[in-house]
Structure 1
């Protein structure tokens, strides 16, 4: 993990400046006049009201973007290096909370539409004037976007969807490293991470000790206000998500898994869930099959390589996986057999902007990052010219 000295200091009470819709380098109220409330998940208290975009606002943004990207526009006349400089400048300005317009983007290039999936999201997915949609979220919503794209203008779609990633710990692994990485692989970002290594398969000889050490680590995990740099775990994103996580925890207890620690909401305000560890988890249980998106660690036992590969792949998802072992041949054999878009060996969540990222099976299609990720936003064109009187 990065040193706290290298992480920007959090602002516990930031000034709320931008609550409107951003179209054509201007801030607007929604066409409908609707707003939605945003709440602080740490306290449950209301922060502000935000303008709610819907189809009419999407239409305005698409019109602005089409104009900005039309042949002969200021943006189209810029070369790649000029556009790249603007993107870096925008990142710096956003970090300093400055106005987007000051970044130098021509009107219509950047548009921001806060809203909900059934309204703004559906309008984007089905819009005849949009050529590409990239979505990160649940598999269920990803299917709806893919369907809407097919029924409209066959727009290209990149989908980064759900996961139930296996993390395989062999008996010859660096034990201390495996325990800590397995812990971070599940509890990072309060468990709200699509790559979360929530199915931990531990080889039988070290299973009991691995469970014991994992429980010790979970009990040491500090929970509280995420603006405090000494806190490791904050709240879930909403009251609804907190309720879903707690319901899945209860299903694990009901189906016979052993609750080692946690399992409840702390008595404090906010949408918190205690760091939770289950042992004796079976593959048919809901907590072993469904994406929890919360701080819940499931630890399962295996005996052979063949067994664990089959069980690891026995899921509708295929976003990520990990293998912990000191045997390079074993690591490569298992990694090649795992049905996942990203496989880590002796590490977890080690991501790089140069490496393509995306999933197999129902974890999505297309890739983000890397050269392949850039190509998702390009079209291939063939131009053939016949020259008369060609001289050799």
Structure 2
């Protein structure tokens, strides 16, 4: 933690009391109210208090932003500027985000209830993403095809055009960086629609982007609802690509909008119901149990890759579940501004009630409640870690994405049974394997239907490796060189040469 970072709950409360909030949309270099004057209410889920009234954009705002983005892209001020200039500007943006990390982290914590320690970690990831993608700008080369001596075949990468990025509320600024950093690095104009549940850090980012030197119209922020401004961006004929992280249902709707408009490219990172498989030969069971608990209860379980399905070999299951419960007992929710809180508040009442309903359903379906399950009596939307054992594949809590602190434990006897359980899902975002048998690790890793597999860890991350899923968890990849590539068009130039 940096020297200037507040250390105590009182320090963070004092900093929160002095915050001011940008509440206007950012369109073509100007901070403006929504065209029709509409606003949405930002509520602190830990207290139920109103934070601010934020501009709620709709179709007229989307039209203005897309026109500005198109004009700016065609002007070449960013799309055709020297790569070294884009690199300098994005590195400057990373520097500014790092300088303002405490403020930005606090905005995310107040807006969606996550612990301040988690938000600070997100900011470190945000800065790393901006820097990595900036550094990639002058290191991605085109290609020369092997055409023989009568022709020269060039393969060029060019920016796609106007990119709309629709990001979720669970990791507001980090997910934003995963979309906008590679898209801007590739030379595109980007319109960001933050979640209506967490718009504040995105609007502050707009100030920093302007200060960093990103030209007017190249980066814009439209707060508002998915069914209004989000839909308008997805249907816009001026938008060439759409990047989305969120639910599978919304992802499917966005693909339909793309088909109804201009066949824009749609890159989706959607839901997950990730299996975390513990074989009996794994070592250090207490540490593994701690990791298994963190895999689901981090960020209140509001994580797309949460290890929500724990698959345990039956010979160690009873003992291992007891260890998980013991670890989870120390992960109770607390004040999100307290640096010692592992869990914070659910993002809003709707999500709070949704998770409670799943817990009641799990009990009615016959799963064994080992821990938690009760609503908090506090003012905010707090739920404790909840663990169900004896879960079977037909149960709703074992199949559907809950997006909350609810762990479903399954038992298995053989490797084949573990694979069958793990792959019996509409989703394929992440999976974990805990074993000391390298042959088993390689066999199971290759057969798991998942975009990423974690071996003897959960959620090992780095900017150099891609992030994304298969099946109904989506397509395309965030992070790594692959992220920047997806925001580019590939053009072939064929030149005939004289003999």
Give yes or no for TM over 0.5.
yes
Pairwise CA distance, 1:89:
1.6
- Aligned positions of 1:50-61 closer than 5 A: 50-61=54-65
Tell me how many residue pairs correspond in the alignment. 385
- Aligned positions of 1:210-289 closer than 5 A: 210-289=320-399
- Residue equivalent to 1:142: 251
CA 1:30–1:85: 2 relative to 1, 3 Å: same
- The question of whether the paired residues in 1 share the 8 Å contact of 2:286 and 2:323 is answered with no
- Residue equivalent to 1:16: 20
- Residue equivalent to 1:74: 77
**In 2: Cα distance, 1:94 partner to 1:31 partner:** 29
- Residue equivalent to 1:93: 96
- Aligned positions of 1:61-210 closer than 5 A: 61-71=65-75, 73-95=76-98, 96=100, 99-100=207-208, 101-174=210-283, 175-210=285-320
| Secondary structure of 2:53 counterpart | strand
**In 2: Cα distance, 1:5 partner to 1:241 partner:** 33
Normalising to structure 2: TM-score of the pair?
A: 0.75
- Residue equivalent to 1:385: 495
Pairwise CA distance, 1:88:
2.2
Pairwise CA distance, 1:375:
1.0
Pairwise CA distance, 1:93:
2.3
- Unpaired segments ≥5 residues, structure 2: 7-11, 104-203
- Residue equivalent to 2:124: none
- Aligned positions of 1:283-322 closer than 5 A: 283-322=393-432
**In 2: Cα distance, 1:212 partner to 1:66 partner:** 57
Pairwise CA distance, 1:77:
4.0
- Residue equivalent to 2:47: 43
Pairwise CA distance, 1:85:
2.0
Pairwise CA distance, 1:215:
1.1
- Residue equivalent to 2:132: none
| Secondary structure of 2:219 counterpart | coil
Pairwise CA distance, 1:224:
1.1
**In 2: Cα distance, 1:93 partner to 1:120 partner:** 28
Pairwise CA distance, 1:372:
1.4
| Secondary structure of 2:453 counterpart | strand
| Secondary structure of 2:74 counterpart | coil
**In 2: Cα distance, 1:139 partner to 1:16 partner:** 35
- Name whichever of 255-264 and 99-108 sits farther off: 99-108
**In 1: Cα distance, 2:411 partner to 2:387 partner:** 14
Tell me the C-alpha RMSD between the 2 structures.
1.6
Residue by residue, what CA displacement relative to the aligned partner does 1:45-95 show, whole Å, maximum 9, x if unpaired? 111100001111011111111121114x32234222221221222233244
**In 2: Cα distance, 1:91 partner to 1:244 partner:** 37
Residue by residue, what CA displacement relative to the aligned partner does 1:249-288 show, whole Å, maximum 9, x if unpaired? 0000000001111112211111111111111111111000
**In 2: Cα distance, 1:161 partner to 1:43 partner:** 29
| Secondary structure of 1:122 counterpart | helix
| Secondary structure of 2:343 counterpart | coil
Normalising to structure 1: TM-score of the pair?
A: 0.95
- Name whichever of 62-71 and 115-124 sits farther off: 62-71
Residue by residue, what CA displacement relative to the aligned partner does 1:88-121 show, whole Å, maximum 9, x if unpaired? 2223324426733221111101100001010011
- Residue equivalent to 2:486: 376
Pairwise CA distance, 1:185:
0.6
